[in-house]
């Protein structure tokens, strides 16, 4: 079982996710948003499952810096913006095969491990 974790290292929830899988000896691959932006296809999976309401972090510094607090776009436009500015997303984004999660979802991760 391999897990992909998307986010930035200085986010506490990202570090907790890494620690969760490391403690259970699950191999994880970390994708740092500061080094490389996620692909449209990868983010598209998350947008398709959760929608922009669950993915966009309206309290994020970057969200406010870009002046997006008054923006009302559809999922496609948010996906386009998130591909260019991934720091507006809730973190971590975790993928294990076809399983996806947004934020610190230890209960969901445990069910993935049990199945």
Specify the pLDDT at position 4: 96
The more confidently predicted of residues 50 and 74 is: 50
Specify the pLDDT at position 70: 85
Instruction: List the CATH number of the domain containing 49.
Output: 3.40.30.10
Measuring CA to CA, which residue among 106, 108, 90 is closest to residue 98?
108
The mean pLDDT value for 62-67 works out to 92
Q: What's the structural domain count of the chain?
A: 1
CA distance 110 to 108: 5
Is pLDDT of 97 > 80?
Answer: yes
**What is the pTM for the complete model shown?**
0.90
**Token duo for residue 25:** 């000896």
| Range(s) of the domain holding residue 28 | 2-114
| CA angle (52, 97, 77) in 5-degree steps | 20
Is pLDDT of 115 > 90?
Answer: no
Q: What share of the chain is helix, strand, coil (3-state, %, to 5)?
A: 50, 20, 30
């Amino acid at each position: 079982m391999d897990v992909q974790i998307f986010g930035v290292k200085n986010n506490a929830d990202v570090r907790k996710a890494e620690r969760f899988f490391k403690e259970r000896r699950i191999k994880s691959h970390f994708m740092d948003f500061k080094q490389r932006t996620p692909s449209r296809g990868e983010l598209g999976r998350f947008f398709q499952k959760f929608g922009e309401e669950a993915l966009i972090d309206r309290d994020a510094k970057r969200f406010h810096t870009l002046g997006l607090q008054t923006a009302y776009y559809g999922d496609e436009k948010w996906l386009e913006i998130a591909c260019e500015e991934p720091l507006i997303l809730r973190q971590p984004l975790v993928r294990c095969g076809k399983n996806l999660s947004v934020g610190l979802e230890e209960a969901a991760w445990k069910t993935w491990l049990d199945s």
